Amino acid sequence: MNTGKRNGTNLMEFILLGFPGSQYLQMSIFMLFLIMYVMALLGNMAIIILVIANRRLHTPMYFFLCNLSFLEIWYTTASIPKSLAIFLGRGRSISFTNCIIQFYFVFALGSTEYFLLSVMAYDRYLAICYPLCYSSIMDSQLSLQLAAGSWLCAFLIILIPAILISRLTFCGPNVINHFCCNIDSWIAISCTSTSEVEIAAFVISIFVIVCPCVITFLSYIFIINTILHIPSAQRKQKAFSTCSSHLAVVLIWYGSTIFLYVKLSNMSSDMNKMVNILNTVVTPLLNPFIYTLRNKEVKDTIRSSLVWKKMKG
């Protein structure tokens, strides 16, 4: 890896500013982050345990949901522990290598989420639009291939900007106005040409964000069209309930993406950091609650599990 030089010495570390403010504000943000982080971990772990423990949930839909929950655990863990140390004022410095590693995992896991959400939309499309052939098409082998492909594609494609960033030169200052390492930060502080990184980021964003978005959008056009043509109101409600949770997660995830990557030119760095919080903490926190509160099958499974425990007790 190439590092820049300042006054003849190698620039080996950077300073993450986090959020400016008084010590009271820093502690308040620390407590908020810590509570949301713990709740996100517990909520997503609960979803995984619930699906594994109940055979009625051993379907492709809940297999993908387990993948999403597992991803959310590591996605938030890739950035939040370091952020907590920053808010405590004990870990603002980060080495060049660790910054690259953090960037790689945050963006690889984030990219995996785009792919997984589009796979889940395709799964709901098959289940609602082709219910009679769903089981024969979306079998365990295809489910595994789609999930594995989502993880593999994301982790391979993010290697490209990670390698390009590792070759940049940084002459100083070494201050990153953020609570984690991202592409915008690298571009802002590099003293060499970042055109390759910017082109790669643009092309990759089309493949990672736009393509899954198109698949998800088209899937829901067909899903909604099919639901509207169902004659029975009860069947309409049942069909919509199977995809409403996923649609809510998609809207939250893509909503925050629009703010991050289609942002206004006068958008402040603090506002940018706030939107990043929505992606890195709030969305992983909300996902388990959305799937448990809006999904009738999950609620019924939780209810029956609680009743079974009471009967055993």
pLDDT tens for residues 75-117? 999 988 888 888 887 777 888 888 889 989 999 999 999 999 9
Give the pair of three-digit tokens for residue 284. Answer: 């992983």
CA distances from 213 to 72, 106, 220, 253 (A): 19, 19, 11, 11
- Given a contact cutoff of 8 angstroms between Cβ atoms, the answer to whether 119 and 76 are in contact is no
Superfamily in which the 5-312 domain is placed by CATH: Rhodopsin 7-helix transmembrane proteins (1.20.1070.10)
**Rounded to 5, what percent of the chain is helix, strand, coil?**
75, 5, 20
Q: Is 180 left (phi over 0), alpha (psi -120 to 50) or beta?
A: beta
Q: CB under 8 Å, gap of 24 or more: what pairs does 53-62 form?
A: 53/305, 54/301, 54/305, 56/297, 56/301, 57/297, 57/298, 57/301, 60/123, 60/138, 60/139, 60/140, 60/142, 60/143, 61/120, 61/123, 61/124, 61/127, 61/242
Residue 194's pLDDT band (cuts 50, 70, 90)? confident
Q: Is 210 exposed, middle or buried (0-12, 13-18, 19+ CB in 10 A)?
A: exposed
Q: Where are the domains of the chain?
A: 5-312
**CA dist., res. 76 & res. 113, Å (int):** 12
Q: Which residue has the higher pLDDT, 81 or 274?
A: 81
How many degrees, rounded to 5, is the angle at CA 108 between CA 104 and CA 112?
175
Residue 9's pLDDT band (cuts 50, 70, 90)? very low
Burial pattern 60-83, b for ≥16 Cβ within 10 A else e, equals bbbbbbbbbbebbbebbbbbbebb
Q: 201: how many CB neighbours lie within 10 A of its CB?
A: 22
Give the pair of three-digit tokens for residue 183. Answer: 């592409």
3-class DSSP string for 43-75: HHHHHHHHHHHCHHHCCHHHHHHHHHHHHHHHH
pLDDT tens for residues 230-268? 887 777 787 777 787 788 888 888 877 776 665 544 555
Q: Is 306 exposed, middle or buried (0-12, 13-18, 19+ CB in 10 A)?
A: exposed
Look at residues 37, 24, 130, 19 and name the one whose alpha carbon lies nearest to residue 75: 37
If you average pLDDT over residues 123-136, what whole number do you get? 91
Residue 306's pLDDT band (cuts 50, 70, 90)? low
**CA dist., res. 2 & res. 303, Å (int):** 56
Look at residues 287, 307, 312, 304 and name the one whose alpha carbon lies nearest to residue 47: 287
pTM for this structure? 0.86
Q: For the chain, what is the mean pLDDT?
A: 82
- Give the three-class secondary structure for 93: strand
